[in-house]
């Protein structure tokens, strides 16, 4: 990677664009010259496109056809460590570098005009201009005199003074008021960096001190902050954030769900008296552009965001916090396939920055790295204050036979009734959206599937629709069976959150019910409103999906009931045991967070399963050690390498042919002793009308894994209508 190179007018430079051309393009440097990292406008055919100067030109093209760069954009150039980061992610994920640049510029229009607003204030010589005085005009002038030079929009002046638009216009015409257009791309407010206002426990203070020392050293480190649910991990790592901000450095906090941002930002504002910059799909493009620009200039010191915030152009990034680091939401499953947790560690290493991976139930990869000494590890072993960890018990569903189409056992109902009598909250958890996963004809057994995917459509009663969770396709409820033509013969099979809520309402008709699911509350604002209602006691029973397991603190909640605790153990996913353990521990940890005793009741048909035994005994280290041993014996991550290859296209025969050719021409992989499994139909073999054939590559931990994969794949020339995706370290196998 070339550093700080300046090219004078007429010299050849290599420009990377966001266009799907996986190579640098040669251009001549413009008048005034250009430097590596500068953003430029260039001609590409008849179009003008944006690019970044990346290197010296190759000189491999006809010099007569090479064009000059149109202009250098007045934007903070891309720093060398950011270019290195994009190259490293590209090489690791086998993604085109042009796609990486597109990811780094997501949400940013480099040619956009910053948003403006008109403001009004008193002119310096308003007394000379203020000739024709009226009561209403005096009202405006006196108000502005009291505001000590502040400016206001027209709407604000009308609101604060109670006058009409014509009164304001008259003052402007008489030059008593000045109307001015200003840019709204303002720096983010400064933070108040003082001691925390919450009294930390002795354990929290000790861990916070160690984290602050790590940040202060300004060298690369990764630390696992493992704390039991309710131990106050957030308050502890905010002390490290404070230390970093006090040093004038930038901080990035990654959250797994945008639904968590509102609550977290409130905590940041409470701690630092100002709100941080936000970066996620829930904010406007104007705010994203402002955030991008302020991050690049160093005027946004703290950013809270989703995984893509990792690709913002930080000027001086010295701390990355990955909260709930175990969460599968950190894996990007389309476009550039990357794991934000792992890429956060990579970016920190290039920036000489610190990483804090926070979780009550860390991923096995992180646990192994900490166990091997590659990461530091700090443990919070006690809940904050007087609260204690909940008691966890099983309800053996083999002994508690339920009537047809009922899902809540009598033991759980009795416990919930007792909770209602005490005025305490209960939570019912099921990891399944919608009303029912299958809609089946009772006459012939036909199951309603998606016409574009090989997947069953999920019944969503609240929306009165059948929906495909793969492609998003929806249609009205089916009345006539397309196979046997029976009328009104369809029945909903199995429970989803809507069905569980329906059953709960029937059992507890007087209870105040809240449903917490991403299908029904899909904005951070709506989630915050619902969570506030739960916290202030306006809800008796919460029915929720995975959304309830992610870091929420409900002080009145003392009972958690897990419906179908075995659900995640089905299938052949190598992480099934790990994810089930994490999910149940996380959701159980919502109970007893204040001074109330907590109880978690897990409905299971497999109480003797090793995962259930580990949950009941609470011996987490034994569980992780056992999981690590099994993975090591199998040679799978984190002790081996894996890559998922999916070939997809509209023509099944064509897709099959290409996948078979890949399986046959595997000589490059044999050089690293890699094994190729497949080709075989993907578990969901058709999505959005495209057939999908899957291969799986498995190898020991070798340095040349990506190189061998590239050589293998490059042997096959793909037709334009066939797509091949490579997923390094796959998290899902659909």
Domains of the chain: 6-104 (3.40.1440.60), 116-183 (1.10.10), 202-380 (3.40.50.300), 391-432+495-628 (3.40.50.300), 640-728 (3.30.70.600)
Q: Give the C-alpha distances (Å, rounded to integers) separating 599 from 184, 229, 255, 414, 560.
A: 50, 14, 27, 13, 6
Helical (H) or strand (E) element with 23: none
pLDDT digits (tens, 9 = 90+) for 492-537: 998 999 999 999 999 999 999 999 887 777 667 777 788 888 889 9
Helical (H) or strand (E) element with 672: none
Name residue, tokens 């915030």.
Answer: 309
The set of residues, in sequence order, having a beta carbon less than 8 Å from that of 66 and lying 6+ positions away, is 12, 26, 27, 28, 57
Return the structure tokens found at 156: 């604000």
In this predicted structure, the answer to whether residue 422 has a pLDDT above a threshold of 70 is: yes
Residue 20 banded pLDDT, cuts 50, 70, 90: confident
3 state SS of 69: coil
Range 464-468, long-range pairs (CB < 8 A, 24+ positions): 466/439, 467/434
Give DSSP secondary structure letters for 384-435.
Answer: STT--PPEEEEEETTTSPPPTT--S-HHHHHHHHHHHHTT-EEEEE-S--SS
Query: Which pTM does this prediction carry?
Result: 0.88
**Residue 720: its pLDDT value, please?**
86
Distance from C-alpha of 8 to C-alpha of 33, rounded to nearest angstrom: 4
Tell me which of 80 and 478 has the higher pLDDT.
80
**Residue 132: its pLDDT value, please?**
82
> At residue 431, what are phi and psi to the nearest 5 degrees?
-90, 60
Distance from C-alpha of 625 to C-alpha of 128, rounded to nearest angstrom: 82
> At residue 108, what are phi and psi to the nearest 5 degrees?
-120, 125
Alpha helices in 477-523 (DSSP H): 497-507
Return the structure tokens found at 400: 């508690």
Return the structure tokens found at 166: 């014509």
Distance from C-alpha of 347 to C-alpha of 355, rounded to nearest angstrom: 9
**Residue 261: its pLDDT value, please?**
81
* pLDDT, average across residues 669-696: 93
pLDDT digits (tens, 9 = 90+) for 541-588: 999 988 887 777 888 999 999 998 888 887 667 888 999 999 999 999
* pLDDT, average across residues 719-734: 89
Distance from C-alpha of 594 to C-alpha of 559, rounded to nearest angstrom: 12
Instruction: Write a three-state SS string for 536-558.
Output: CCCCCEEEECHHHHCCCCCCCEE
**Residue 185: its pLDDT value, please?**
61
In this predicted structure, the answer to whether residue 1 has a pLDDT above a threshold of 50 is: no
> Reduced to 3 DSSP states, what percent helix, strand and coil does the chain have, rounded to the nearest 5?
35, 25, 40
**Residue 2: its pLDDT value, please?**
46
Return the structure tokens found at 217: 């050293």
pLDDT digits (tens, 9 = 90+) for 372-388: 999 999 999 998 876 78
Closest to 427 in 3D by CA, of 183, 601, 269, 281: 601
In this predicted structure, the answer to whether residue 156 has a pLDDT above a threshold of 90 is: no
Name residue, tokens 């993604």.
Answer: 95
Question: Quick count: other Cβ atoms within 10 Å of Cβ 695?
Answer: 21
Return the structure tokens found at 454: 């090989």
């Amino acid at each position: 990677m070339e550093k700080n190179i300046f090219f004078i007018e007429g010299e050849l430079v290599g420009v990377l664009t966001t266009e799907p051309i996986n190579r640098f393009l040669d251009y001549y440097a413009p008048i005034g010259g250009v430097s590596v990292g500068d953003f430029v406008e260039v001609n590409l055919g008849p179009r003008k496109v944006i690019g970044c100067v990346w290197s010296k030109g190759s000189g491999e093209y006809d010099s007569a056809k090479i064009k000059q760069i149109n202009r250098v954009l007045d934007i903070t150039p891309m720093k060398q460590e950011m270019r290195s980061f994009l190259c490293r992610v590209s090489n690791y994920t086998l993604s085109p570098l042009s796609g990486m640049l597109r990811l780094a510029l997501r949400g940013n229009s480099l040619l956009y005009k910053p948003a403006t607003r008109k403001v009004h204030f008193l002119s310096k010589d308003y007394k000379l201009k203020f000739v024709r005085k009226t009561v209403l005009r005096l009202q405006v002038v006196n108000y502005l005199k009291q505001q000590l030079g502040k400016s206001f929009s027209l709407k604000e002046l009308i609101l604060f003074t109670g006058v009409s638009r014509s009164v304001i216009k008259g003052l402007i015409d008489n030059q008593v008021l000045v109307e001015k257009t200003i840019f709204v791309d303002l720096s983010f407010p400064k933070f108040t960096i003082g001691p925390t206002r919450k009294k930390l426990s002795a354990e929290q203070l000790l861990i916070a001190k160690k984290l602050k020392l790590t940040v202060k050293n300004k060298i690369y480190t990764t630390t696992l902050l493992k704390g039991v649910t309710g131990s106050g991990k957030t308050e502890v790592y905010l002390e490290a954030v404070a230390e970093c901000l006090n040093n004038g450095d930038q901080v990035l906090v990654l959250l797994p769900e945008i639904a968590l941002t509102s609550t977290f930002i409130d905590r940041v504002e409470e701690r630092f008296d100002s709100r941080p910059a936000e970066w996620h799909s829930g904010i406007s493009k104007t705010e994203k552009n402002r955030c991008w620009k302020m991050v690049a200039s160093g005027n946004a010191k703290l950013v809270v965001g989703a995984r893509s915030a990792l690709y913002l152009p930080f000027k001086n990034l010295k701390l990355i916090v990955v909260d709930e680091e175990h969460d599968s939401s950190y894996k990007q499953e389309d476009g550039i396939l990357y794991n934000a947790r792992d890429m956060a560690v990579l970016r920190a290493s290039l920036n000489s920055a610190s990483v804090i991976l926070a979780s009550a139930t860390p991923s096995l990869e992180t646990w192994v790295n900490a166990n091997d000494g590659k990461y530091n590890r700090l443990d919070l072993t006690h809940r904050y204050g007087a609260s204690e960890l909940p008691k966890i018990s099983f309800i053996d569903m083999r002994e508690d036979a339920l009537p047809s189409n009922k899902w809540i056992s009598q033991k759980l109902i009795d416990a919930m009734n007792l909770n209602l009598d005490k005025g305490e909250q209960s939570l019912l958890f099921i990891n399944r959206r919608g009303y029912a996963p299958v809609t089946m004809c009772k006459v012939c057994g036909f199951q309603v599937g998606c016409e574009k995917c090989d997947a069953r459509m999920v019944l969503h009663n609240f929306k009165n629709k059948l929906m495909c969770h793969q492609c998003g396709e929806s249609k009205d409820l089916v009345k006539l069976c397309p196979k046997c033509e029976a009328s009104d013969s369809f029945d909903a099979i199995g429970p989803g959150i809507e069905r569980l809520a329906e059953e709960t309402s029937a059992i507890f008709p007087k209870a105040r019910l809240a449903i917490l699911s991403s299908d029904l509350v899909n904005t951070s604002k709506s989630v915050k409103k619902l969570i506030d209602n739960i916290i202030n006691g306006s809800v008796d029973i919460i029915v929720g999906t995975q959304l309830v397991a992610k870091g929420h603190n409900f002080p009145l909640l003392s009972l958690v009931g897990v419906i179908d605790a075995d659900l995640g153990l089905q299938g052949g996913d190598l992480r099934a045991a790990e994810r089930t353990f994490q999910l149940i521990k996380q959701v159980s940890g919502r109970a007893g967070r204040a001074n109330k005793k907590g109880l978690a009741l897990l409905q299971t048909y497999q109480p003797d399963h090793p995962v259930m035994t580990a949950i009941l005994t609470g011996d987490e280290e034994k569980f992780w050690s056992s999981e690590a041993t099994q993975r090591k014996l199998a040679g799978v991550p984190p002790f081996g390498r894996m890559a998922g290859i999916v070939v997809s296209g509209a023509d099944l025969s064509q897709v099959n042919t290409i996948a078979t050719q890949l399986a046959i021409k595997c000589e490059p992989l044999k050089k690293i002793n890699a094994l190729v499994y497949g080709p075989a139909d993907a578990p969901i073999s058709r999505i959005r009308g495209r057939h999908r054939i899957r291969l799986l590559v498995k190898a020991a931990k070798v340095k040349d894994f990506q190189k061998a994969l590239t050589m293998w794949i490059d042997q096959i020339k793909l037709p334009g209508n066939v797509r091949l995706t490579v997923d390094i370290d796959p998290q899902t196998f659909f």
